[in-house]
Chains A and B, each alone.
Chain A
Amino acid sequence: MVPLRPLILVVVLAVSGCAVPPFMKGTGDRGATSATATRAPGSGPVLSTPTEALPPQAGTEPAINALPPAPLPRERPRTAAATLSPASKALVSQAQAQRKKGDLPGATVSLERALRIEPNNPLLWIEMGRLRMDQRNFPQAENMGRKALAMSVGDDRTQSAAWQLIADSLRARGRNPQAEEALAKARALAQQ
């Protein structure tokens, strides 16, 4: 019996192509501040004098960058869809098979194994949320969805799946208006 969901995932991922780890944003420019090279005083051009608030030593020994920095990004780049590593993929398939057999504790173990290999992969948190739905632990299903949202900023496809999970967990608790809102977000993101 071939589990369906991982197949879908595989297809989706094959289409979306090679992915960049989705948790690198906002660090490029921070890297620029830390990756400075110091020079001896007066050994190179200094375009600025540091602010007067700087301690005197800093004023006499300004540090400058070896490389001109890239202009600051104002537009938030979209991130490619998250993918699963082969190991996680195998474990997700295994968890699917276990869920189908009704072996929810077994599925939990398999998914947690995958999560330890790739703790920052939002797809795994969504899978975990789906499992919590099976376990009728709806609040945790929603929380897993929110965690997936936080780690998939800029990845519309994954965000859509996370909102879908959140919508399902809200509906299961009879919170229909909020469920509709979540579903609308899921649909809007899926179309982008």
Chain B
Amino acid sequence: MARRKLSARVRRQLQRGVAVLALLVLVVSIIVIAVLDRRVTAQFEGRRWTLPARVYAQPIELYVGQGLSAQRFTEELERLGYVARPNPDRPGTYRRRGQHVDVHVREFRFSDEHQAARALRVGFDGGSIVSLEGASGEDVAVIRLDPLLIGSIFPIHGEDRIVVSPEQVPPLLPEALKAVEDRKFDSHHGVNPLAILRALFVNVRAGQIEQGGSTLTQQLVKSYFLDSRRTLRRKAEEAVMAVILESRFEKADIMNAYINEIYLGQDGRRAIHGFGLASQFYFGKPLDELGLHEIALLVAIVRGPSYYDPRRHAERALERRNLVLRVLEEQGVVSADRVALATKRPLGIAEPGRGGGSFFPAFLDLVRRQLRHDYEEEDLTEAGLTVFSTLDPLLQEKAESALAAELERQDTSKRKASRGLEGVVVVTTPQTGEVIAVVGGRRAAFDGFNRALDAKRPIGSLAKPLVYLAALETGRYTPATVIPDDPVEIKLPNGDTWKPANFDKQLHGNVPLVRALTQSLNLATVNLGLDVGLERVARVFVQLGLEQAPAAYPSMLLGATNLSPVEVTQMYNTLANGGFRSPLRVVRAVLDESGKPLKAPQLEVAQAAPAEAVYQLDRMLIEVMQRGTGAPARRTLPAGLTVAGKTGTSNDYRDSWFAGFSGGHLVVVWMGHDDNSETGLTGTTGALPTWSKLMSSITTASFEPLMPEALEDRWVDYFSGQETSPYCSGSAVSLPFRIGTVLEPSETCAPGVTGEMAGFGDPAAAGLEPVPVP
């Protein structure tokens, strides 16, 4: 009796327990589903992706008179992923016929206007554009090509993507994805139980998890929310979320989300997400321009972006691509003959630097740091900004190859110290202060230590022009003023004695400014700087654009100051720009996600030093290239190209510098070792060859600034500084002086003599084979 009672009570309690448990399970399930539902919905409806700022290079401008050959133009089109076709009837295609190129320019949203896609005919005559017409033969004055996408500012977790709208997706892509990954996509409710069972069966037989039965929806959910651990709980969660997603959203939205979300490759620490970016990353062109074979490859990569990486495992990728093509044929997505044709095509992978990749890390780093003045890090990595940068891809390529060639030459040098060097190249257009190329090391595509910004090294004789500018600014000196190249001894506060010497260990007596600078004489420069005043010289550094004045020690006069290549570039840009300081710019414009212009650094100029003094200095820097330490460059440079510049070598040959400019470009080169050991190179033997190689490989104008009105040209003797005549002096040099300057006339060759002219324009002829001088 008691037992029965007891058992009845137990049964009742049990029943209650089960009921409570069931209720609990129900409540928990509801809560879990509600929580998951909120997560799924919020993710899907809110901002779906955090979008890294996309950075574009400067666009190529087409106009009559532009110095561009048909050959180079088609190369630039190829770089932008344009395809040669017999009939260029859609955006992204072109046809070359001799001196004519027909091109269908893509549409593009620039910062000032949306430029519609447009057919153009461009006529060339050797090295320049002679005609530019639209489709109906109308003249076009000027038009931009769509710019090269050079990378993005992606966050630390490294997720990068380009979001595409459904109209930008070729219709074949979703069809192919369904055929290969999820044939029941159009009908299932998020999960495909049959596929799961099949996968389970295969997995049990194999003894481990190998094949996924995931629908596209499940893959999307997994990529959205979950990590890649394949536990049963994850699987269940994934399935529930997939069902929720399907119940709340349209198939088309889910497909578009998938296309933008999925992981498709790795580029260093940058993860390539979405087909939009993958198309740029692998093929260097927009998704809507891909052919069947290219779409098939991207679909092939979905299953294992690392395993099927077409750059590292081309064979494997090709095999799987062709498998995808066969499936498309079997499923009736594509006709057999199209598949046969596509199967014969190569992978068609674009070379690095041809779009989409972050192949210009040093430059992008500069962009990021400049934008950090105006934007929060999150704005840059998440807000979907579009950044129009100043990078000139062609110049960047030339700068990289000039440096690589010179480093390679040094690698095989007899001098052990100059093997394995590192180097930096920075290029600007001086008038606008735009930085158009930055090479940060011998592995230009390697995203590491950015030497252009962070390697602060003694600038050596690059400091000298600043000393001479300070002197000329006082008005007490002219290019012909004689200064003593005599020994200097300075007692330092710590009791040591500073006793600099000339590079050739010689004393040169009294020399005019022009010779002291041209031959980079240390003692003459120190004597000049001490006379002008250290504080005054230090101020010139700031005038030219350095943020902080260097410590005013005497050794500053010979370049003991540590500066980065970009800082040197800023100062020399002012010299190349006639004394007008323009803050270096790497960003032209920034747009928000909707296309509204945001804050960006503006083009600014400010007169940093008197035009007369800068002009006099610049003319002396031309002499450096004519007969001084920069003269060896003339062997490489095109005849008749006037350039100005200065070498720099730090103590014990640790750093080799050259900073020099034409009328259109300033190029600064640094070479040295990361561990700061000796290189055995001077500015003349290390950096200068890189500089002249680059300068001679680009289209640039002579440096021919206008002489200020208060100045006039006069002939003076290079060695004595006395006024002379080119008709009797073999060492006469024409230099600018303030009108009315009193010059001492030469006794042996007075200024008035006329007749046939002597000269020593060729330094070798005048016995002036330049000696490398620090």
Task: Output the least CB separation between A108 and chain B (Å).
Answer: 7
Q: Given A30-B713, A45-B756, A47-B727, verify A54-B749 contact (CB < 8 Å).
A: no
**A105→B733 contact, CB < 8 A:** no
A143 contacts which chain B residues (CB < 8 A)? 580, 604-607
B708 vs chain A, min Cβ distance (A): 7
Most buried by A among B712, B727, B757, B768: B757
B758 touching A48, Cβ below 8 Å = yes
- CB of A151 closer than 8 Å to a CB of B: yes
Per the bound structure, the CA–CA distance linking A120 and B576 in Å amounts to 12
* Number of chain A residues whose Cβ lies closer than 8 Å to a Cβ of chain B: 72
Instruction: Please indicate the chain A residues that have their CB under 8 angstroms from the CB of B663 in the complex.
Output: 23, 120
Say which residue of B111, B642, B724, B759 sits within 8 Å of A36 (CB atoms). B759
Whether A113 pairs with B61 at a CB distance below 8 angstroms is yes
- Residues 1 to 30 of chain A near chain B (Cβ within 8 Å): 22-27, 29-30
Contact of A53 among B63, B580, B717, B757 (CB under 8 A): B717
Interface membership of B429, Cβ < 8 A: yes
Q: A85-B65, A112-B588 are in contact. Are A25 and B112 (CB under 8 A)?
A: no
Could you tell me the distance in whole angstroms from the C-beta of A103 to the nearest C-beta in chain B? 7
Docked-complex contact A140 and B730, CB < 8 angstroms: no
- Shortest C-beta distance, B637 to chain A (Å), equals 12
Contact between chains at A34 and B110 (CB < 8 Å): no
- Residues 697-724 of chain B, each 1 if its beta carbon lies under 8 Å from chain A, else 0: 0000010111111011101010110001
* Listed stretches A86-94, A167-175, A179-187; interface member: A86-94
Residue of B nearest to A140 (CB): B604
Give the distance to chain B from A165, nearest Cβ to Cβ, in Å: 13
Assess the A68–B757 pair: CB atoms within 8 A. yes
Contact of A89 among B141, B432, B619 (CB under 8 A): B141
- Contact assessment for A58 and B760 in the assembled complex, using a CB-CB cutoff below 8 Å: yes
A87 with B605, Cβ < 8 A, contacts A63-B758, A65-B759 known: no
- The answer to whether B63 touches A117 (Cβ under 8 A) is yes
- How far apart are A119's CB and chain B's nearest CB, in angstroms? 4
Contact of B748 among A23, A30, A52, A71 (CB under 8 A): A52
A150–B728 CB distance below 8 A = no
B755 at the A interface (CB under 8 A): yes
Q: How far is the CA of A174 from the CA of B385 in the complex (A)?
A: 40
Is A162 engaged at the interface, CB distance under 8 Å to the other chain?
A: no
B706 touches A36 (CB 8 A): no
The complex places the Cα of A143 from the Cα of B611 at a distance, in Å, of: 13
Known: A50-B730, A151-B706. A106 touches B713 (CB 8 A): no
Q: Is B765 an interface residue (CB 8 A)?
A: yes
Q: Are B756 and A47 in contact (CB under 8 A)?
A: yes
Q: Is B671 an interface residue (CB 8 A)?
A: no
From 465 to 487 in chain B, residues with beta carbon under 8 angstroms from any chain A beta carbon are: none
Knowing A120-B431, A150-B578, say if A27 contacts B759 (CB, 8 Å). no
Cα A45 to Cα B761 in complex, Å, equals 18
Cβ-defined contact, A62 with B603, below 8 A: no
Specify which of A29, A85, A90 is in contact with B713 (CB 8 Å cutoff): A29
Please, which residues of chain B bring their CB within 8 A of the CB of A56? 767
B:740-759 near A, CB below 8 Å: 746, 748-749, 753-759
Cβ of A115 within 8 Å of any chain B Cβ, yes or no, is: yes
The answer to whether B719 and A53 have CB atoms under 8 Å apart is: yes
- Residues of A contacting B733 with CB < 8 Å? 33
How far apart sit A113 and B729, CA to CA, in the bound complex (Å)?
A: 47
B704 touches A50 (CB 8 A): no
CA distance A23 to B704 in the complex (A): 6
- A-B interface pairs (CB < 8 A), number: 222
Q: A51-B748, A54-B766, A109-B110 are in contact. Are A64 and B141 (CB under 8 A)?
A: no
Pairwise interchain contact B112-A32, C-beta atoms closer than 8 A: no
Q: Which A residues touch B605, using CB under 8 A?
A: 140, 143-144, 146-147
**Max count, chain B CB within 10 A of own CB: residue among A46, A50, A52, A72:** A50
Q: Of A24, A29, A63, A86, which contacts B760 at CB under 8 A?
A: A63
CA of A49 to CA of B767 in the docked complex: distance in angstroms? 15
Kindly state whether residue B731 has any CB partner on chain A within 8 Å: yes
Query: Which of A25, A52, A86, A113 interacts with B707 by CB under 8 Å?
Result: A25
The one of B142, B765, B767 in contact with A91, judged by C-beta atoms closer than 8 angstroms, is B142
- The minimal Cβ–Cβ distance linking B639 to chain A, given in whole angstroms, is 9
Q: Are A128 and B730 in contact (CB-based, < 8 A)?
A: no
Interface centre among A61, A69, A128, A147 (most CB of B within 10 A): A147
A30 to B711, CA, bound (A): 15
B residues near A86, Cβ cutoff 8 Å: 63-65, 141
Q: Judge if B622 is at the interface, Cβ distance under 8 Å.
A: yes
Tell which of B706, B715, B755 touches A25, judged by Cβ atoms closer than 8 Å.
Answer: B706
**The one of B61, B708, B724, B726 that contacts A33, using a Cβ cutoff of 8 Å:** B726
- Closest residue of chain B to A74 (Cβ to Cβ) is B712
Which residues of A sit under 8 angstroms from B500, Cβ to Cβ? none
B762 near A: Cβ within 8 Å? yes
If A36-B762, A150-B706 touch, whether A54 touches B719 (CB-CB below 8 Å) is: yes
CB distance from A17 to the nearest CB of B (A): 19
A133 contacts the other chain (CB 8 A): no
Known: A25-B706, A26-B706, A119-B429. A35 touches B113 (CB 8 A): no
CB distance from B685 to the nearest CB of A (A): 22
CA distance A63 to B762 in the complex (A): 8
Judge whether A65 and B757 touch: CB under 8 Å: yes
The reply on B597 being an interface residue by CB < 8 A is yes
Residues of chain A with a CB closer than 8 A to B142's CB: 87, 90-91, 113, 117
Bound CA–CA A68/B732 (angstroms): 15
- Beta-carbon contact of A51 and B730 below 8 Å: yes
- The answer on a CB contact under 8 Å between B720 and A51 is yes
Q: Mark B28-66, 1 if CB is under 8 A from A, else 0.
A: 000000000000000000000000000000000101111
Residue of chain B at shortest CB distance from A67: B757
Q: Determine the distance from Cα of A110 to Cα of B708 in the docked complex, in whole angstroms.
A: 29
Collect the chain A residues with CB atoms within 8 Å of residue B112's CB: 98, 103, 105-106, 109-110
Asked if A176 is an interface residue, CB under 8 A from chain B, the answer is no
- Residue of B with least CB distance to A48: B728
CA–CA, A28 to B746, complex, Å? Answer: 23
Q: Is the CB of B708 within 8 A of A153?
A: yes
B632, chain A: closest CB distance, angstroms: 15
Contact of A50 among B113, B588, B602, B731 (CB under 8 A): B731
CA distance A92 to B542 in the complex (A): 34
Q: How far is the CB of B747 from the nearest CB of chain A, in Å?
A: 9
Interface residues of A in 134-192 (CB under 8 A from B): 137, 140, 143-144, 146-147, 150-154
Q: Which residues of B contact A69 (CB under 8 A)?
A: 726, 757
Per the 8 Å Cβ criterion, residues 89-136 of B in contact with A are 110-113
Convert B147-172 into 0s and 1s, putting 1 for each residue whose CB lies closer than 8 angstroms to a CB of A: 00000000000000000000000000
Besides the contacts A30-B713, A85-B65, A117-B63, what 13 more A-B pairs have beta carbons closer than 8 Å? A24-B704, A25-B706, A26-B711, A33-B726, A36-B760, A48-B728, A48-B753, A50-B731, A52-B748, A63-B761, A86-B63, A143-B607, A146-B605
The 3 closest A-B pairs by CB, nearest first: A57-B767, A50-B730, A48-B728
Residues in A lying within 8 Å of B, measured CB to CB: 22-27, 29-30, 32-36, 38, 45-59, 61-65, 68-69, 71-72, 74, 76, 85-87, 89-91, 98, 103, 105-106, 108-110, 112-113, 115-117, 119-120, 128, 137, 140, 143-144, 146-147, 150-154
**CB-defined A-B contacts under 8 Å, sample of 7:** A29-B734, A69-B726, A71-B754, A87-B65, A91-B141, A119-B431, A143-B607
